Amino acid sequence: MVKIDLNCDLGESFGRYTLGLDAQVLPYVTSANIACGFHAGDPTVMAATVALAEQNNVALGAHPGLPDLVGFGRRKMQITLAQAQADVQYQVGALAAFSQTGRLHHVKPHGALYNMAAADYELARGICLGIKAVDPTLILVGLANSQLIKAAQDVDLPYAQEIFADRNYLADGSLVPRTQANAMVTDEATAVQRTVAMIQTQSVTAIDGQKVALAPDTVCVHGDGAKAVAFVQKIHAALLAAGIEVTAL
Amino acid sequence: MVKIDLNCDLGESFGRYTLGLDAQVLPYVTSANIACGFHAGDPTVMAATVALAEQNNVALGAHPGLPDLVGFGRRKMQITLAQAQADVQYQVGALAAFSQTGRLHHVKPHGALYNMAAADYELARGICLGIKAVDPTLILVGLANSQLIKAAQDVDLPYAQEIFADRNYLADGSLVPRTQANAMVTDEATAVQRTVAMIQTQSVTAIDGQKVALAPDTVCVHGDGAKAVAFVQKIHAALLAAGIEVTAL
Amino acid sequence: MVKIDLNCDLGESFGRYTLGLDAQVLPYVTSANIACGFHAGDPTVMAATVALAEQNNVALGAHPGLPDLVGFGRRKMQITLAQAQADVQYQVGALAAFSQTGRLHHVKPHGALYNMAAADYELARGICLGIKAVDPTLILVGLANSQLIKAAQDVDLPYAQEIFADRNYLADGSLVPRTQANAMVTDEATAVQRTVAMIQTQSVTAIDGQKVALAPDTVCVHGDGAKAVAFVQKIHAALLAAGIEVTAL
Amino acid sequence: MVKIDLNCDLGESFGRYTLGLDAQVLPYVTSANIACGFHAGDPTVMAATVALAEQNNVALGAHPGLPDLVGFGRRKMQITLAQAQADVQYQVGALAAFSQTGRLHHVKPHGALYNMAAADYELARGICLGIKAVDPTLILVGLANSQLIKAAQDVDLPYAQEIFADRNYLADGSLVPRTQANAMVTDEATAVQRTVAMIQTQSVTAIDGQKVALAPDTVCVHGDGAKAVAFVQKIHAALLAAGIEVTAL
């Protein structure tokens, strides 16, 4: 039976600031990527989010980001490999401390760190080494076909290839940048249908019409609004209807 | 044979800022309390400091502080018990991620967090529960006879009673506050002699002449300057000369 | 004609995090206290909030807080007088830089800084000196009858006495702490009616029945939700109906 | 008579961390660029540094940086133009609040912000607009011949062209990046002699032998160590000996 994981970024509140409908989206996903205090999240939020994720029996993952709270980790920064590795180790360890088992299941870099590493092999390697130093059984979640996946393979770290339900692709397998008009798949029905097709056909059609081969392990979904949560429910239902098992990595 | 541990705060540099003669002091101590990024330290500094401590074969400990970098964690803050517990868990987990074993040996709260908890049982309990949640074998290092020790006993967490070589004591066993003129033992020879006596007699004479019973497990020393390091060497030599074994907890 | 100012805390968003219905509440208030980046706000938010306040022709004020973003400036911190003064100067200057005139109208300390200074004369004096150093024509907004008002009088800084529409008072003129059950006036009609009466009678009845004399210059209202904004509209209408002029300080 | 300004970055301490020999270098420079709390400095340090600079009668300038304390503002970040402008306005206003006159004399961006803007016209323009919004008489200090100078000219902001005593130049007038082996002029006598020549000949020889035309208004010197301070003294003496007046912009 074909299997897929649904992963969602959670725990992005901070102090007085609340973000995301974590409790509403959790029943429909199988993996939680929890912010670790650099781009979002704080220790109290992390404690509560880990507890909530454990109650929902989803796989617990760290979602480390750049040290840029005001930019929500979305602004590229010229960090060194040593800094990337140390920042990731720090955040993974910090989150693991809130787990009942003291261990996590996966790590998915956030925002600009994810995007930079998808294209930069050395940075991707630094991140993978940071993860491996904490726990060599952790699964790296990275953009399908990207340098993150290549680096994980090279350093012998388990990995999962991620696809995006609502983003268009370029012919090289990278996402159309958000700065371009056609970055997003805006029609919900199209996005749902295409996601199922990406899993079934192991491929996606890029915006220039070329077919890109993919081996999707997990789909990125969002819980940052009522519309987003409704979309996750639709994806979840469509996957089940297509005979695809929705299960953690 | 009487035994004592010598512990020192390390890894207090931050980014461009260097603080402490870590490499010089390490050969003379048996336990390292490493800053975790809240009051001092950053992930890159932590990685380097853990590596240095491991090379020196000292016991690795976390030194969690209040989230107050500009105040170096020395300003009391009215944090909740949930925040204290989460802040400690976060920092202990973050530091442990840099250890080759993934585990630490002890935890010593820093600055205002240490001082507040020494006098506030509920806060002390929150801290101890935070430590225990990460790893119930971690040793809490706290002011001898303080609420930190009482809380560790109550939650069944291993603990070590700490004495200070260079600080005067009040009759209730607490330290004379730094704001008072006689807070410090300024004469080095007196400080060394008194430290040895505290261990041998299991007591200290408070500034009002009263004798305070103590059961010292560890002595706090400093490495933040050439004079401090020279003092650690003297203490170390005096302890050995007195037939006291200097060894980790 | 009796006059009163209605002041509201604004600009409390931060990066990706949105807080407060600033645009909705602005038409009903006469003074804006804008967060300055320590407890809330960031430079981009400040630029936008100052522009919005200027469009609404309200008086521009700084709302400096403690350096504690994760605690939203609500946790008491043991800062020195020099730190309090410098922190206030810094924040007042930073906000003034966004004003079209380069000048502000008033300064209202935020949260724990406001509450600590209301009871601590020395801290209040440090804050007033910080404000005066930037611009001696700035109006200090402080709790009516508190140490903030006394300090402003002593250092010859203009001041405005603030009352709270939705808070109960103790016999000494201080607010019933939020930790007590009867801290808030929960019935809206009562709160509105009482606010008008406080202005007209220059007094309030404390929770123990004693009458406390007051000389209100400004009323604190909130814009952090639809209910809060509706309440501001009611207060505004009731003041006008009572023949009280609603105008900036 | 030929004139030149000597400018130095100051106030780069932070909380417990001390950096720079500010008091020692101040007698030999004519302009102080004071850190504003983003890449270095804190309000208490800023208050002390402004007071020290005023005692030494040097021109007061803001030294705004990227919001990256751990990276000391040296890591490039992908900020938007609106963010750059707001970040600069905020920092310039914050520093001005500590001046006895409430005004500053110049603004020199720091580190990666300076380097990015030297090459990126749009960013340079955002920075210049931010400075102009605070005070249109402020002098922008930027790399000679760079986009910062061009942007200042275009928005009609006063400017000063900066040269570096200890850095080698490329043929396009930019500095040889620090990552290259020949970035620095390591011989002190050569550096001093060359600086005098740059001012007298209004040119510098790039590492490929090409002559680059320059119109130097100010020389960047450093006070971050005893060697650096000694070098400033030598430059200062050599300029005077060459009949060049050392005076603020």
Torsion of CA C134, C140, C141, C146, to 10 degrees: 130
Helix (H, G, I), strand (E, B) or coil at C87: helix
Nearest CA in chain B to C72: B79
Cα–Cα dist B154/B42, whole Å: 33
Q: Specify the DSSP element, H or E, that contains A211.
A: strand A211-213
Residues A196 and A239 sit within 8 Å (Cβ to Cβ): yes
D75 pLDDT band (50/70/90 cuts)?
A: very high
Alpha-carbon distances of B36 from A80, A127, A195, rounded to whole Å: 20, 20, 42
User: pLDDT averaged over chain A?
Assistant: 96
In total, chain D counts a number of residues equal to 249
Contacts of B62 (CB under 8 A, 6+ apart): B33, B34, B36, B91, B92, B95, B96, B104, B106, B107, B108
Residues C110 and C65 sit within 8 Å (Cβ to Cβ): yes
Task: Pinpoint the alpha helices (H) of chain B.
Answer: 22-25, 43-55, 81-96, 111-119, 121-134, 147-154, 188-201, 226-241
Q: What is the pLDDT of residues A195-234, one digit of tens each?
A: 999 999 999 999 999 999 999 999 999 999 999 999 999 9
Using the beta-carbon criterion (under 8 Å), do D112 and A71 form an inter-chain contact? no
Using the beta-carbon criterion (under 8 Å), do A19 and C17 form an inter-chain contact? yes
Q: At what angle do helices D81-96 and C43-55 cross, to 10 degrees?
A: 80
Cα–Cα dist A11/A18, whole Å: 9
Average pLDDT over residues D104-117: 97
Cα–Cα dist B30/B32, whole Å: 7
Nearest to residue A187, comparing CAs of A170, A165, A171?
A165
C chain contacts of residue D133, beta-carbon cutoff 8 Å: 97-98
Share of chain A above pLDDT 90, in %: 96
pLDDT recorded at residue B205: 95
CB atoms within 10 A of CB A96: 26
- The phi, psi pair for B44, rounded to 5°, reads -70, -40
- The label of the residue with tokens 């299991």 reads B202
pLDDT of A121 higher than 90: yes
- The DSSP code for C138 is P
Cα–Cα dist C224/D138, whole Å: 38
Distance from CA of D95 to the nearest CA of C (A): 7
- The phi, psi pair for C234, rounded to 5°, reads -65, -45
pLDDT recorded at residue C126: 96
Q: What is the pLDDT of residues C192-209, one digit of tens each?
A: 999 999 999 999 999 999
Task: Pinpoint the alpha helices (H) of B43-80.
Answer: 43-55
Mutate: best of D9, D12, D16, partner B, most B CBs <10 A: D16
pLDDT recorded at residue B97: 98
Residue C229 tokens, joined? 């904004």
Using the beta-carbon criterion (under 8 Å), do D97 and C89 form an inter-chain contact? yes
pLDDT recorded at residue B177: 87
pLDDT recorded at residue A179: 84
pLDDT of A112 higher than 90: yes
pLDDT of A126 higher than 90: yes
Using the beta-carbon criterion (under 8 Å), do D90 and C46 form an inter-chain contact? yes
pLDDT of C177 higher than 90: no
Sign of CA dihedral A155, A160, A161, A162: negative
- In the predicted model, residues of chain B with pLDDT beneath 50 are none
Average pLDDT over residues D161-169: 95
Question: Cα angle vertex C243, ends C241, C247, to 5°?
Answer: 100
- The residue type of C73 is G
Nearest to residue B61, comparing CAs of B38, B92, B37?
B92
Average pLDDT over residues A63-78: 98
A189 pLDDT band (50/70/90 cuts)?
A: very high
A55 pLDDT band (50/70/90 cuts)?
A: very high
pLDDT recorded at residue B31: 98
Mutate: best of A38, A66, A74, A79, partner D, most D CBs <10 A: A79
- The phi, psi pair for B106, rounded to 5°, reads -155, 170
Subunits in contact with chain B (3 or more CB pairs closer than 8 Å):
A, C, D
**pLDDT, greater one: A172 or C49:** C49
Q: What is the pLDDT of residues C121-168, one digit of tens each?
A: 999 999 999 999 999 999 999 999 999 999 999 999 999 999 999 999
Residues C27 and C246 sit within 8 Å (Cβ to Cβ): no
pLDDT of D59 higher than 90: yes
pLDDT recorded at residue C241: 97
Average pLDDT over residues A141-155: 98
Cα–Cα dist D106/B170, whole Å: 53
Cα–Cα dist A134/A96, whole Å: 10
Helix (H, G, I), strand (E, B) or coil at A57: coil
Task: Pinpoint the alpha helices (H) of chain D.
Answer: 22-25, 43-55, 81-96, 111-119, 121-134, 147-154, 188-201, 226-241
Cα–Cα dist B13/B23, whole Å: 13
pLDDT recorded at residue A178: 82
Distance from CA of C117 to the nearest CA of B (A): 15
Residues in chain C whose beta carbon is closer than 8 A to a beta carbon of chain A? 12, 14-17, 19, 40, 42, 69-72
Nearest CA in chain D to C36: D90
Q: Specify the DSSP element, H or E, that contains A94.
A: helix A81-96
Residues D19 and B18 sit within 8 Å (Cβ to Cβ): no
Distance from CA of C217 to the nearest CA of D (A): 27
pTM for this prediction: 0.97
pLDDT of D179 higher than 90: no
C79 pLDDT band (50/70/90 cuts)?
A: very high
Q: What is the pLDDT of residues D183-242, one digit of tens each?
A: 999 999 999 999 999 999 999 999 999 999 999 999 999 999 999 999 999 999 999 999
Subunits in contact with chain A (3 or more CB pairs closer than 8 Å):
B, C, D
Using the beta-carbon criterion (under 8 Å), do D67 and A67 form an inter-chain contact? no
Cα–Cα dist C21/C29, whole Å: 13
**pLDDT, greater one: B173 or A133:** A133
Q: Among partner residues B43, B102, B135, which is closest to A87 by beta-carbon distance?
A: B43
D chain contacts of residue B14, beta-carbon cutoff 8 Å: 14, 17, 69-70
Contacts of D74 (CB under 8 A, 6+ apart): D39, D68, D111, D112
